Amino acid sequence: MDIHERVTYDELLPYLDNPWQRYIKDTNWVQEKHLPYPILGAAGLDRADAQVPDGRPAGNDLSFLQQQLLDDVGHEAGILTGAGDPSPSSMNGWYEMAVALATAYNDWQIENWLEKDDRLYGSVHVAAQDPASAVREIERVGSHPKMVQVLLPIDDRPWGDPYYHPIFEAAERHNLIIGMHHQEPPNYYGKFPRYFVEWHSVMPNTHMIQVSSMIFNGVFEKYPNLKLAMIEAGFTYIPAFMKKMDQQYKVLRHEVPWVKRMPSDIVKDHVRVTTQPVDELTRDEFLKFIDLMGSDEIVCFSTDYPHWDYDSPFRALPPLGEDLEKKIFAENARKLYPKLPERKVTQ
């Protein structure tokens, strides 16, 4: 899970009509960027060895990604989440351009990635600030056999708000899960902290905000078959968060009478989280967190390729035993994403 393929705006031009194509081509328009911190190293946010040999940015070449991530590592399936630029749902204003970018991105992704490698699966990008357009885009490409989730950025919009529920209805109808991935807008008291180390340390904050928004706004009661993947904040925050929500629900459930179950039970049935960025845990510590969650089906392995904090399946986790490793590395994701293939059987 969580492969960041990258598109350039020039590559999107053939998939855009005018006037949107003209805005990019003639005025050099690009989506506003927010992250204010200095480049982390020689390759910025990416692994130095993931830069394409011809100088293009990491994630911009299918054949290089195939060799470095899929072939050399041996992944049987990978789910693309994009590079966050463009991120149509994160745009402030100019919703029409956001809608056009989402459509162009999906068409580019299908033609250049999903249809060229059986192992790669995609995310439906939408302009969620305009739910009607998001539903139309899900209707347009959601039935594609390689599209497995609707991607929403984790920023300053609480997605559980009923305003966005039509998106969840369409996703459930098309057998798609909702994937949420953090984006550049602030996740620290509404503003950026002074240092990147602070920003990176508190990523679970906004993940918790979104999960609680989805639960207490009754999304999973309203759409009982909907699943949610929280991508790129690790998993160690989950046990304490489940306990806190349960505690508050016991004394405040009169406020949300549409929520019929304990929040921890809803998490176990509907929410999955990814390992990356994985905390450096011993085997006993890792198993303790799994035990505190009350389920070994919540955690799914992710790489965050090609970013600087990429997690290798060979080194990221301590030895956990064959049964649990099968679940985290493969079975939990296969159960979460119904369009993923069955495990290959080798002789």
In a domain, 346, yes or no: no
In a domain, 345, yes or no: no
Annotate 7-50 with DSSP letters as a single string. Answer: --HHHHGGG--TTHHHHHHHH---------SPP-STTTTB-GGG
In a domain, 1, yes or no: no
Exposure b/e, 82-103, CB count within 10 A at least 16 = b: bbbbbbbbbbeeeeebbbbbbb
Alpha-carbon dihedral angle through residues 314, 231, 79, 223, given to the nearest 10 degrees: 140
Reading the block at residue 54, the tokens are: 């011809």
pLDDT band at 43 (very low <50, low <70, confident <90, very high): low
Sheet holding 147-154, edge to edge: 78-79, 120-125, 147-154, 177-182, 228-231, 271-274, 299-300
Q: Can you give the pLDDT at residue 34?
A: 67
Domain around 305 = 9-336
Give me the number of domains the chain comprises. Answer: 1
Reading the block at residue 253, the tokens are: 């459930």
pLDDT band at 346 (very low <50, low <70, confident <90, very high): very low
Q: Can you give the pLDDT at residue 86?
A: 87
Q: Specify the range with the lowest mean pLDDT, choosing from 24-33, 140-149, 232-241.
A: 24-33
Whether residue 14 is preceded by a cis peptide bond, meaning omega within 30 degrees of 0, is no
pLDDT band at 39 (very low <50, low <70, confident <90, very high): low
In a domain, 56, yes or no: yes
Q: Give me the chain's average pLDDT, please.
A: 93
Question: Is residue 251 scored above 70 in pLDDT?
Answer: yes
Q: What sign results for the dihedral spanned by CA atoms 129, 133, 127, 209?
A: positive
Question: Is residue 184 scored above 70 in pLDDT?
Answer: no
In a domain, 342, yes or no: no
Q: How many CB atoms lie within 10 A of CB 200?
A: 15
Euclidean distance between CA atoms 29 and 85, whole angstroms: 12
Q: What are 139-176's pLDDT values in tens digits?
A: 999 999 999 999 999 888 899 999 999 999 999 999 99
Euclidean distance between CA atoms 212 and 218, whole angstroms: 10
In this structure, what CATH number is given to the domain that contains residue 80? 3.20.20.140
In a domain, 344, yes or no: no
Annotate 268-314 with DSSP letters as a single string. Answer: HHHEEEE-PSPP---HHHHHHHHHHHT-SSSEE----TTBTT---TT
Which residue(s) pair with 78 in the sheet?
A: 120
In a domain, 157, yes or no: yes
The mean pLDDT of 208-215, rounded to a whole number, is 97
Q: Can you give the pLDDT at residue 187?
A: 58
Q: Can you give the pLDDT at residue 183?
A: 78
Q: Can you give the pLDDT at residue 186?
A: 55
pLDDT band at 92 (very low <50, low <70, confident <90, very high): confident
In a domain, 4, yes or no: no
What does residue 203 show for φ and ψ, rounded to 5 degrees? -55, -35
What does residue 131 show for φ and ψ, rounded to 5 degrees? -55, -35
